Amino acid sequence: MGTRMGKSKARARKYKLREQAKVDTGIFDEKTMVNLGKFFNKKIIEKLNFVIARGKEADIYIAEAGSSEKVRGNQFVIMKFFRVETSSFFKMEDYMIGDPRFSRIKATSKYEVVKLWCAKEFGNLEIAGKARVNAPRPFMFNGSILAMSLIGDDATPAPRLRDIELEFPEETLDVILEEIRKLYRGNLVHSDISEYNILMSDNVPYLIDFGQAVVTAHPKAMDFLSRDISNILSYFEKQYGINREFAEVYKTVMK
């Protein structure tokens, strides 16, 4: 009798997760379903709502926040589902090899690499938070799924830098460069700064997509830092005619 009841509850729980996961046009595979279930069990989320972005590396969903202390004050949670089959193994490898945090870890499959990448982004967001950088707050990760705070209003994500016309571009550029500097002082380099990876919420820039971020001990960290600065300076010069000397900006960021 007890065993039958246990199986019945297990089936009901699995059915509930399956129904909640039938969002938009996709249905998650069994492994993803199991990983997703822990976010419900830990009360990080109460319901998975809808997809807001699909990419080669990950799909982004909006979820209703659960009752966990970790998400207190948040009505919605961003759920990032990393893709395993279409993720670029070599791109990920470039940002992990040389990172002392992963020197003793050996991935045996592509799924294991993606799991490490997910854990890496969670850890990078924690570092960004300690450095007081404007970035999403990480709540939990499990397998290839990451939960973090929503940057935006209600269930609407803030627009990307590239999608809006700034009223005060000089001031915004200064804030972005200061965020890069704070991150560097926290011993982290974003490594993929661009107008696509910055959200604008109430005229405040927020850095996102921290999976590729590396600690400053990484052998390519300074190359990545130079690229970040160059990318953002190029965008503001092209879009707003703002001309900043790279060498002077680089020197300021390194202070």
Task: Kindly report the number of other CB atoms within 10 A of residue 219's CB atom.
Answer: 10
DSSP state for residue 56 in the 8-state scheme: S
Q: Regarding predicted confidence, which is higher, 6 or 176?
A: 176
**pLDDT tens digits, one per residue of 141-182:** 999 999 999 999 888 899 999 999 999 999 999 999 999 999
pLDDT attached to residue 236: 98
Assigned CATH for 156-254: 1.10.510.10
pLDDT attached to residue 28: 78
What pTM value is reported for the model? 0.86
The class level of CATH for 28-153 reads alpha beta
Active site residue 192: yes
Instruction: Domain ranges for the chain, please list them.
Output: 28-153, 156-254
Please, which pLDDT band fits residue 24 given cuts at 50, 70 and 90? very low
Per annotation, catalytic residue among 94, 163, 174, 192: 192
Please, which pLDDT band fits residue 8 given cuts at 50, 70 and 90? low
Q: How far apart are CA 62 and CA 77, in angstroms?
A: 6
Active site residue 153: no
Q: How far apart are CA 66 and CA 56, in angstroms?
A: 28
pLDDT attached to residue 50: 87
**pLDDT tens digits, one per residue of 51-68:** 898 887 899 999 999 999
Per annotation, catalytic residue among 99, 209, 223, 228: 209
Asked whether the beta carbons of 107 and 116 are under 8 A apart, the reply is yes
